[in-house]
Each structure stands twice: as C-alpha cells, then as structure tokens.
Amino acid sequence: MQQKQLKRSAKMLNAAEGFLLCVATSEAVLGVLGDTFIALVNCMDYTKNKKLSKIGFILTGLAISRIGVIWIIILQGYVQVFVPHMLTSGNITQYITYIWVFLNHLSVWFATNLNILYFLKIASFSNSVFLWLKRRISAVFIFLSGCLFTSWLLCFTQMTKILRDSKMFQGNTSLVHQQKNYFLINQSLTNLGILFFIIVSLITCFLLIVFLWRHIRQMQSGVSGFRDLSTEAHEKAMKFLISFMILFILHFLGISIEVLCFILPQNKLLFITGLTATCLYPCGHSIVLILGNKQLKRASLKALQHLKCCETKGNLRAT
C-alpha cells in the first residue's frame, strides 16, 4: 500500500515543476534539432567535397555525441521524476551510467578539441609554450585522445566495482540509504573523470577572450575609436565564447544538482531545476555554433528560406 502511494505521488507535479519540466523538454528537443542540423550540414559537405576539415570532423562528432547525451539526460530525468524506484532496482542504473560515461566524456572531449583548435588558430601570443603548441596541433589532439582513453579506462573500472558492490544491497530495505550513497559516489567519480577536459576547455576559452579583448582595444586606439568590421567580428566572437563558458558551467552545475538530488527524492523542484540547467547547454551551444560558423549560418538561412517558400506555396494552393 505504501509503495503504491509513493508511485502515485511520484507522478504528481505542481505548476512550477511541470513548467520547468516542459522547459527542459523543449531545450532537449531544440538541442537535438540543432545538433542534428550541424551533423547533417557537415556530412553533406563531406559527400560533396569528399573532404572533411578538422573543424568539420570535430563539429560532427560533437553534434552526434551530444544528441546521445541529451537523450540520456532527459531519459534519466523522467525516470527520476515519475518512476524513481526504477533507479534502485534492476539494471537500468548500470546501463544508463555506462552509456552516460561513454557519451559525456566523448562530448566534452570534442568540445575541448574545438576550443583548443580555435584558440591555436585565432590567438597570437609570444609565449614559447603557445608557439610550440601552435606548430604541433596534431600532437595536441593525439595527447587529448590518450587522455580520453585513460579517463574511460579509469572510470569504467571504478564504476564496474561500485555497481557490482551496490547489487548486494538490492532487495534489502535496511540498506537503501547506503545503496544511494553508492550511486552518489559512482556518479561523482564518473564526472570527475572529465574534470581535466573541463578545466582545459575553460582555460582556452578564457585566454582567447583575453586575446580578443586586447586586440579590440589595440584596434580601437589605433583608429581613434572607429568601429570597423574586424572589431565587430572580434566582439561577436567574444560574446559567443562568454556564452559558451556560461552555458558550460551551468551544465555541470545542473548535473551536480541532479546527482545530489538522488539522495533527496522528495525535492523534485530542485531536481527539475538542475535538469533545466543541464539541458540548457546542449540547446544553447548548438545555436551559438550555428550563428558563429559561416557555413552553418549560411545553411540555416537557406533552410529557413526553403521553409518559407514551401509555406508560401502551401498557402497559395489552399486559396
């Protein structure tokens, strides 16, 4: 009887929780559409030119991996909100965690590579380390690939041990709280595995912002405050980078809230707030990438024009 009441209460949401869940779902849908568009544009470009640039490869990999991340985020979110007992029974936690580790590490790895590539190509510092890295971009990618495989290996090994131990608590109601602690430790360790990529990504973004800001000040002082096209382009790039950093930080803050809320199942509003913050990055960053990349922006404008033409033809036929 008590279990039925818990299940019934899990399905009920108040107005604020329902609104935030709709927002999170909308963000997830927009994120999937945006990343699918990015992947399709780059794949079509590859089939047309039989060649894929480094940026094109990274954008395609980032879009595909992030589509999987979005599905995992929203799936786990709905399970936690409506059927939380499923996370403490059966193998669903194990399956979700394994897939999450693989896709989330891969997504952050691609995002880090993209930031480093833009940083090394756009920025210009006299530092000897920077000049050495700029001449060896391929070596940097190989090093990051090694870090990715090492992170996967460490996380999967530790995670397998924790999940195997946590199975001993299933069916034992007196150890449910301890089982939740195992899950909390598990999720924390899987996210700690990508801490290196998060730090590197944020540092490269910050350094590129510093370079662009200094470059803008030099150009403005050199032309007596006259704003030319180059200055506006640099300012726009700074805004995109700052937007990425904010979305990136909110994403991992949201993940942290979701993980902590597993041991606080009654606080649904806090969990759904974390889910909304988590879904904001995949949606917002895909829009930032489309607006900041000339090829993607041109393709999006063509797609919008095509949709308008189709809508106009449909209205003419209707009349």
First CA to last CA across the chain, in angstroms?
60
pLDDT at 8: 47
pLDDT at 1: 41
> Does a structural domain hold residue 317?
no
Residue 20 has pLDDT above 70, yes or no: yes
> Does a structural domain hold residue 318?
no
**Structural domain boundaries enclosing 41:** 2-306
Segment 116-129 mean pLDDT:
85
When the pLDDT of each residue in the chain is averaged and rounded to a whole number, the result is 80
Fill in the amino acid letter for 225.
G
Q: For residue 81, give both structure tokens.
A: 């909100």
Identify the band that residue 6 occupies on the pLDDT scale cut at 50, 70 and 90.
very low
Q: Highest mean pLDDT: which of 24-33, 73-82, 305-314?
A: 24-33
Tens digit of each residue's pLDDT (9 = 90 or more) over 148-206:
998 888 888 777 776 666 666 555 545 555 556 666 666 666 666 788 899 999 999 99
Q: At what angle do helices 54-82 and 2-11 cross, to 10 degrees?
A: 130
> Does a structural domain hold residue 234?
yes
> Does a structural domain hold residue 223?
yes
Q: Highest mean pLDDT: which of 89-98, 177-186, 213-222, 258-267?
A: 213-222
Provide the 3-class DSSP secondary structure of residue 51: coil
Q: Is the dihedral of CA 158, 160, 163, 167 positive or negative?
A: negative
CATH code of the domain in which 219 resides: 1.20.1070.10
| C-alpha angle 97-107-34 in degrees, rounded to nearest 5 | 110
- Please state the domain count of the chain: 1
> Does a structural domain hold residue 314?
no
Q: Highest mean pLDDT: which of 4-8, 123-127, 262-266?
A: 123-127
> Does a structural domain hold residue 243?
yes
Q: For residue 153, give both structure tokens.
A: 């290996």
> Does a structural domain hold residue 133?
yes
> Does a structural domain hold residue 46?
yes
Q: For residue 218, give both structure tokens.
A: 């030099």
Identify the band that residue 252 occupies on the pLDDT scale cut at 50, 70 and 90.
confident
Segment 65-82 mean pLDDT:
89
Q: Are 272 and 81 in contact (CB under 8 A)?
A: yes
- What percentage of the chain carries pLDDT values higher than 90? 29
Least confident of 12-16, 61-65, 154-158, 163-167: 163-167
Residue 9 has pLDDT above 70, yes or no: no
